[in-house]
Amino acid sequence: MIEKNSSELFLKTITKDKRTLEMFRFLVNNSMIRVINYHNTDAINSERLETEIKYFSENFHPVTIEDLDNFFKTKKWPFTKPGCIPAIFEGYRSHIDTYAKILDKYNFVGWFYIPSFFMDIPAKDQIDFCHNHRLRISTVHGYEDGRVAMNEEEIKKLSEKHVICCHTGTHYELKPNATEEELRHEIVDAKRKLEQVTGKSCDVFCWLAGEDYAHSAWAHKYLEEAGYKYVVSNLKIEKIK
């Protein structure tokens, strides 16, 4: 009876919404690339973060843009271990000060999703910017000067070993009534900003809340105009170009 009830509860859980069911389908079908999301990576949590990254390095293969390109081209994963992408969101200063240092220690690649214009906000205004743009900055970040965003120099350094992705320009929530000016600024101009800083192509885009490509049909032309290769959502990596 307990086993039956447990099975019924499990089935009820995974079928309660489309995303949960889709995630379960991907897992049981032996998907070859896993993504783990992070936001705040404060120094106070460095021991836990290192434990996790060490585990990734021992059990998974890091993923570069070139690996992803080849995977989509050949439909084959060439490594014995499945791929793992630590996806680090929001462009916080703790990403370069804490998380990236641990990644480098274990020779693992992180994908950093950055709201492109966050770095341009004066340090004294960055906390307010976070509160006004759904950036849930930690209360234990430890930066007394108020600068909680990575600056241009830090992002450029990060790009030497890791993948820099665009998370809109201002942590922007896509809306059906968005103007062409807004979409071009949050998608096209945002990509150009990151490329100007890093000197490299920015090939990956992710909407606020991880919406998939189909969700943003009215914005497709701007994603294509900008020249992105991939849209990453909560459950998918989709090739668009």
pLDDT of residue 45: 96
Please, what's the b/e burial string for 121-137 (b: 16 or more CB within 10 A of its CB; e: otherwise)? beeeebbebbeebebeb
| pLDDT range class, residue 30, cuts 50, 70, 90 | low
103, pLDDT greater than 80: yes
Residue 152 pLDDT greater than 80, yes or no: yes
Q: What is the pTM of this model?
A: 0.88
Query: Tell me, what's the pLDDT at 211?
Result: 75
Q: What is the pLDDT of residues 205-220, one digit of tens each?
A: 999 987 777 777 888 9
- β strands within 72-137, DSSP E: 83-89, 111-114
When pLDDT is cut at 50, 70 and 90, the band that residue 2 belongs to is very low
With CA atoms as reference, report the closest residue to 187 among 229, 219, 214. 219
Distance, in Å, from the CA atom of 90 to the CA atom of 114, rounded to the nearest integer, reads: 5
Arithmetic mean of pLDDT over the chain: 90
Confidence of residue 175 (pLDDT cuts 50, 70, 90): confident
35-83 confidence digits (pLDDT tens)? 999 999 999 999 999 999 999 999 999 999 999 999 999 989 999 999 9
Would the pLDDT of 4 be above 60? no
Residue 221 has pLDDT above 80, yes or no: yes
6 pLDDT higher than 80: no
State the average pLDDT over residues 82-101.
97
Separation CA 71–CA 76 (nearest Å): 5
pLDDT greater than 90 at residue 233:
no
Amino acid present at 14: I
Supply the pLDDT for residue 1: 41
Q: Predicted confidence band at 14 (pLDDT cuts at 50, 70, 90)?
A: low
Helix (H), strand (E) at residue 165: strand 163-166
Q: What is the pLDDT of residue 204?
A: 97
Residue 60, token pair as written in the block: 């998974």
Structure token pair of residue 131: 């509160």
The answer to whether residues 223 and 149 touch, using CB atoms and an 8 Å cutoff, is no
* Residue 36 near residue 60, CB atoms below 8 Å: no
pLDDT at 27: 55
HSE-CB for 161 with a 13 A CA cutoff: 17
